[in-house]
Structures are given as C-alpha cells and as structure tokens.
Chains A and B, each alone.
Chain A
C-alpha cells in the first residue's frame, strides 16, 4: 500500500531521512516510534507529500509520488491525516470542519456531505457537538473532530502524527479508544506515537527509527520482547520504566 524506496530528505543542510526503505501492506497498522528528532513525523508527512523529498521515491496505492502526472489532490483525498496539534479550522463549527472535504473535494451534494459528516462525528462519539467551534471543545474532543474530518473522506489510508502528544493525560484514552477501534476495521494505518501500551495492543508491526534511519521493523511481541537493536533497547528502557 505504501512503499518507501531509498527516501532521503534534507532540511537545508540537515539530513533528516537517510535512505528509508519500508513497506506497509494493505490493511496493516504500522506504528512508528523512536526518540524525538529521529525523523518519524517527517517520514509520515512524506506519504501525502506535505513534505517533499529530495531523493528516492514513495509509492502510495500504486502511484509514484515523483510522477509528474500524479494528481496529488486526488491522492490526498484518499489519505486521511490527523495532526499532533489537531489543526482544526477555528472559524468553522465541528460539523463544518468535517463537511468541508466531502463537499469541496468529493463534491457531494450538501445533504449527502452533511450526512457523511454526521456519521463520522457519530463514530468518534461527538454527534451532539456538531455546532461547537473548536475553541469550545476540549483537546480530546478537538482531536476526535479531526479524526472525523479525516474519516468523512472515506480514506484508504489513515495517518496519525503523534495524535495524543499535545493532550492532557486524562484526555488521551478517549482518543486512543477511537484509534484502536479504527485499527480493527481493516484500514491501512500509519501511526507515529510514544504510547507504547497502545502500540502493543493495536500495531501489526512496529518500526523503530533513530537519526533518520529505520533500525528495526518487527511485530510488537518481538519488538517489546527482544529488540534486536541496541538503540531500540535503550529507547524502550527509557520509555517503559
């Protein structure tokens, strides 16, 4: 579903991604973890080309992102993304946030777009918050609206970029519950997260990154049981006290 082929990226002179080769299968839930600054977020953001890459290629759903004939807007419509800081549109209600994509990108008639948005909000448990503006919602609720916004596009792939890192501890679970439920529905998902218990519960495979490289890819049992790489061992011992 998603294939990274020798991906390199530089921010100015800083070499963020140093030759990433990684494949994510259809329907697979992959959690990417690693210390901060390791390039996890940058990597996940190359999948919908929000970050351009300088070398190598990313192939998403059979389409090469470096193909000049690629319709990136159409591809992005099929890739939902949830951000660390939610990035809801503050001038729109929850419902308007979720309806915008179906209406303007999918070009559904208003009634159908609204219905789809309501179903997505229902799914994240916010059916009764449709008329609230983002600043009238808690962090956890905002992030669930953001998930609904991604879901309403009926994407083939869902990307989560540290979805709970900006949340108060007591609000993390309401978001994780929604993500776990989505993971059980057979959609391809890539999740950058520090929530290891959650990774253990829902990931099919875990990729460990450090200093712009993927050092280890393994199923959770194996990764948490006997990490092969020294850096991964260190990281786990720091994070799972």
Chain B
C-alpha cells in the first residue's frame, strides 16, 4: 500500500525532465540561435548528480574552513602591520607580499607537491600518506592566500580611524593591548565588515582552485561530469547556478551582520 505511493515522486521527476528537454532545447535554439542539442536529463542520472552533490559538499567545506581560518589569521596580520613595533610591522609586510603576489593556485600546488618534499624525510612521508592530505593542502593554500587580502582590508580599517581614538585611549591610561582590544579593533572590524564580506565571497569562488590537485569540489566535479558525459554546457549551467546561490546566501549573511552591528552601535544602517 505504502510502497507505490513513495515511488511516485521519483518517476515523476524523470518524466518531468525528459518532457522538458525538447521544450527547453527549442527555446534555446529558436530564441538564442544556439546550435546545440541540450540534454538536461543527464542531471538526473545518479552517477552524475552524485558527483555534483559531492562537489557541493566539498565546496561548502572548503569555504567554511578556509574562511574561518583566514579571517582571524588575516586580522592578526593586519593588526601586526599597523603596529607601532617595527619588527611586527615588517614581518606582517613580508607575509602579505609573499602570499598576495603569488597566485592562489600556486600556493595550492605548493602545499600539495612542494611542501611535503621540503619537510625532513619521515615528516614528508607521513604527510603524504595522510588520507586527507589533498584536502589539507588545498585548505592551507587557500587560507594563506585569502588571509593576505583580509590583512590588507583590516589595515585599511585600522588606518581609517582618526588618531584621536588612539590618543583618547592612551590618555585614560589604557595599556597598548587594552587600547587595541576595547577601542581600536571593535571600531575597525565594524568598518571592514562590508569589504570583508566581499572578500569572503571571493574566497568562496576561489575554492574552485582546489580542482588543480583533484579535490572533488564543485568545479572538479563539473569537469568530471563533462569528461564522462560530454555534456559540458548542462553541468556547467548547473554548477553556475549553485555558485551564484551560495554567493547570494553568503551576501545575505554579511548584510544581516552589517545591520546587526549598526543597530548595536546606535547607527542607522547604511542605505
């Protein structure tokens, strides 16, 4: 009794897709003059959509982990770059230039191929045999790459504060640490939320670089489906829609955070 009813949706979806194919194809052919026979049905084949879903999972994982790691790291480097201490400033400056001026893809490749060979023999071998090493290499490369941009955004935010804020904080006797902790950072972070949000969205898209070392994220999955099915247009369209949706979700999150911070600080939200 229950089993035929539960099967209904599955057959419906297959039916829907095959029915829709000629219509969509006719639309694209007649309206855009596209000389390509679309076959959207492949999206509903398990061996393909499972690749795409795994890709989505890895893209989400890479985005969350690298953002969570690179934003705090970048904030620390950005503060060091704005520090009154010459040595801290220089170290942070070198960090930013090294990671900002070399393509993120190179860093991903470096952590995958170069880094283990630079380590002493047993360490390198241990790393190479670590089952999630590929993922780890991608995370490291993307995190360092993104953190250098976050650091520069943070430095801009810190420099946007008038010197009077530092002077007022020092005049009541706050120590250097307290001045940064209670006066400078809360203001600087609030200032950089919008550009930082944009940077995080860029970081989401940059996770596609992980495909060069065959992390099965969304871009890699897209290529994979194409080479298996020869249906590149279809799967790329799907991947595009997924990327856009993820970015929009992230943008909505940033927007919410901006408004919440503005409200908490008695400011009207930016229009």
**Chains A and B form a bound pair:** yes
Residues on A lying within 8 angstroms of B by beta carbon are 45, 48, 50, 73-81, 83, 85, 87-91, 93, 100-101, 104-105, 132-133, 135-136, 146, 149-150, 153
Q: Is A89's CB under 8 angstroms from B174's CB?
A: no
- Interface-central residue, B164, B172, B265, by most chain A CB under 10 Å: B172
Instruction: Give the number of residues in B that approach A within 8 Å (Cβ atoms).
Output: 21
Q: Which of A83, A91, A136, A153 has a CB less than 8 Å from the CB of B167?
A: A83
Min CB distance, A189 to chain B, in Å? 15
A99 and B168 alpha carbons, distance in the complex (Å): 14
With beta carbons under 8 angstroms apart, the residue of B182, B183, B266 that contacts A136 is B266
8 tightest A-B CB contacts, nearest first: A77-B173, A133-B266, A87-B168, A87-B164, A81-B171, A101-B172, A105-B173, A76-B173
Q: Assess A90 versus B172: contact at CB under 8 Å? Given A50-B167, A133-B265.
A: no
6 A-B pairs besides A48-B171, A87-B167 with CB distance below 8 A are: A81-B167, A91-B265, A93-B266, A101-B173, A104-B178, A135-B267
Q: Do A76 and B171 have beta carbons less than 8 Å apart? A: yes
Residues of B near A146 (CB, < 8 A) are: 168
- Give complex CA distance A133, B167 in Å: 20
Q: Does B170 lie within 8 Å of A150, measured CB to CB?
A: no
Q: Is there an interface contact between A83 and B168, defined as CB atoms closer than 8 Å?
A: yes
Q: Does B186 contact A (CB under 8 A)?
A: yes
Majority SS of interface residues in chain B?
helix
Chain A residues within an 8 Å CB radius of B170: 48, 50, 76
Contact B172 A149 (CB under 8 A): yes
Per the 8 Å Cβ criterion, residues 150-202 of B in contact with A are 162, 164-165, 167-175, 178, 182-183, 186-187, 190
Most buried by A among B164, B165, B167, B168: B168
Whether the Cβ atoms of B265 and A100 lie closer than 8 Å is no
Instruction: Point out the residue from B165, B169, B173, B190 that lies within 8 Å of A153, measured CB to CB.
Output: B173
Docked Cα-Cα span, A87 to B27, in Å, equals 63
Is there an interface contact between A89 and B168, defined as CB atoms closer than 8 Å? yes
- Assembled-state Cα–Cα distance A76/B176 (Å): 13
Contacting residue for B172 out of A76, A85, A132, A135, CB 8 A? A76
B interface residues, Cβ below 8 angstroms from A: 162, 164-165, 167-175, 178, 182-183, 186-187, 190, 265-267
Decide: A100 and B182 in contact? CB cutoff 8 A: yes
Name the distance in Å between B190's Cβ and chain A's nearest Cβ.
7
Give Cα A101–Cα B61 distance, bound, in whole angstroms.
43
Report how far A50 CA is from B167 CA in the complex, Å: 7
A80 lies within 8 A of B266 (CB): no
- A89 in contact with B165 (CB, 8 Å): yes
Q: Which residues of B contact A75 (CB under 8 A)?
A: 173
A-B contact pairs, 10 of them (CB 8 A): A76-B172, A81-B171, A83-B164, A87-B164, A90-B187, A91-B190, A100-B174, A135-B266, A146-B168, A153-B172
In whole angstroms, how far apart are the Cα atoms of A198 and B187 in the complex?
36
A85 and B266 CA atoms in complex are apart in Å by 20
Q: Could you tell me if B171 and A85 are in contact, using CB atoms closer than 8 angstroms?
A: no
Bound CA span A45–B170, Å: 11
- In the complex the two chains form, is B171's CB within 8 Å of A79's CB? yes
CB-nearest residue of chain B to A88:
B168
Q: Please, which residues of chain B bring their CB within 8 A of the CB of A48?
A: 170-171
Contact partners of A83 in chain B: CB under 8 A = 164, 167-168, 171
**In the assembled complex, how far is the CB of residue B172 from the closest CB belonging to chain A, in whole angstroms?**
4
Please state if B186 and A91 are interface contacts (CB–CB under 8 Å). yes
A132-B266 in contact (CB<8A): yes
Q: How far is the CA of A89 from the CA of B174 in the complex (A)?
A: 13
The answer to whether A87 and B165 have CB atoms under 8 Å apart is yes
Q: In the complex, which residues of chain A have a beta carbon less than 8 angstroms from the beta carbon of B167?
A: 45, 50, 81, 83, 87
- Complex: how many Å from CA A32 to CA B167? 20
Query: In the assembled complex, which residues on chain B have CB atoms less than 8 Å from the CB atom of A73?
Result: 173-175
Q: Which residues of A contact B168 (CB under 8 A)?
A: 81, 83, 87-89, 146, 149
Chain B: CB-nearest residue to A96: B182
How long is the Cα–Cα vector from A45 to B182 in the complex, in angstroms?
A: 23
* Contact indicator B171/A50 (Cβ below 8 Å): yes
Q: How far is the CA of A220 from the CA of B113 in the complex (A)?
A: 79
Q: Within 8 Å CB of A50, what residues of B?
A: 167, 170-171
